[in-house]
Structure 1
Amino acid sequence: MLTFSFNHIALSVKNVNQSLEFYQKVFQLEEIKNTASESKTRWLSLNEGKQLHLIPRPNFQIKVNKAVHFALTTSNLDSFISNLKELNIDYSDWRNTPNKDYIRKDGIRQVYFQDPDGYWIEVNNDI
């Protein structure tokens, strides 16, 4: 039987520098070397060997909806939400209630917000 583990997520972005700044500011991610090519794609470390790749596509039309998202988890969701407020980043629950977190049936709290290209990001406390 084959086994798999998560390696990276890649996002097409209109302005790679703006997106890099956003992810560094919101998640305090460290930029790492793009070892795959000499392209302008920028890589960020998600720790434990996991990565976020930002691929510049300035003329690409990006279509998104909340059901297509990626999720990160933190042990201190309240602190993270405070950080979103300080950065003036709007967030909502799954039902789009502004500035509200959501508690799932299994007790996990979560919030959703969008990056500069409109990609949806979930942050939860599922640790």
Structure 2
Amino acid sequence: MRTFLKFILIIIALNPIQKIMAQTDKSQMPAVLNHIAVYVTELKIATDFYESVFNLPQIPEPFHDGRHTWFSLGSAGHLHLIQGAKTKEIHDKNEHLCFSVPSIEAFISKLKSKNIGFESWAGTQGEFTLRVDGVKQIYFKDPDGHWLEVNDDK
């Protein structure tokens, strides 16, 4: 009888551990971003642009078909450029990729050295937007017309 009581007490004592383990069950974990795919007309032009403007490191791409470039976005995931868009489309500024940089001023100098124009959210050329939280942001387009935001989010 004592052994049975000890057994029951152990089961009761372990019950909170089972609840904690259930809370960390992988099926209950939130989804995480794996990659962003951008459809482009000229893969080499788009690859050179993202590599040189954002200093993104290329990572091995598994397809080896000449239609893809993969970049690492660090812990955020990957950026995949995919060749095949037939025409450059007009994209709304509300649909954009956003990158953060340590210094928006240094990044603006880099854009100017590459003759890449940029604008504020309102569309004023060569200006940045100062958000109410103090973050500076600019907007510009990649070679296929996809909008990009760069900010100095701190």
CA separation of 1:51/1:123 partners in 2, compared to 1, >3 Å: closer, same or farther?
same
Identical counterparts, % of pairs: 35
The residue number in structure 2 matching 1:48 is 75
Q: Alignment partner for residue 108 of structure 1, among 130, 135, 142? A: 135
Equivalences for residues 61-72 of structure 1 within 5 A: 62-72=89-99
1:87 aligns with 2:114: yes
Q: CA deviation at 1:60?
A: 4.7
1:6 aligns with 2:33: yes
Q: Structure 2, unaligned stretches of length 5 or more?
A: 1-27
Distance 2:52 2:143 in 1: 12
What is the identity, as a one-letter code, of the residue corresponding to 2:43? V
The residue number in structure 1 matching 2:64 is 38
Report the RMSD for the aligned CA atoms in angstroms. Answer: 1.5
Give the conservation status (yes or no) of the 8 Å contact 2:88–2:145.
no
The residue number in structure 1 matching 2:8 is none
What is the identity, as a one-letter code, of the residue corresponding to 1:38? H
Distance 1:124 1:49 in 2: 16
- Higher strand fraction (1 or 2): 1
TM, length-normalised to structure 2:
0.76
- Higher helix fraction (1 or 2): 2
Distance 2:110 2:88 in 1: 29
The residue number in structure 2 matching 1:124 is 151
What is the identity, as a one-letter code, of the residue corresponding to 1:28? N
Q: Structure 1, unaligned stretches of length 5 or more?
A: none
What is the identity, as a one-letter code, of the residue corresponding to 1:19? A
The residue number in structure 1 matching 2:56 is 29
Distance 1:49 1:94 in 2: 24
Give the conservation status (yes or no) of the 8 Å contact 2:33–2:76.
no
What number of residue pairs does the alignment pair up? 126
SS of residue in 2 equivalent to 1:72:
strand
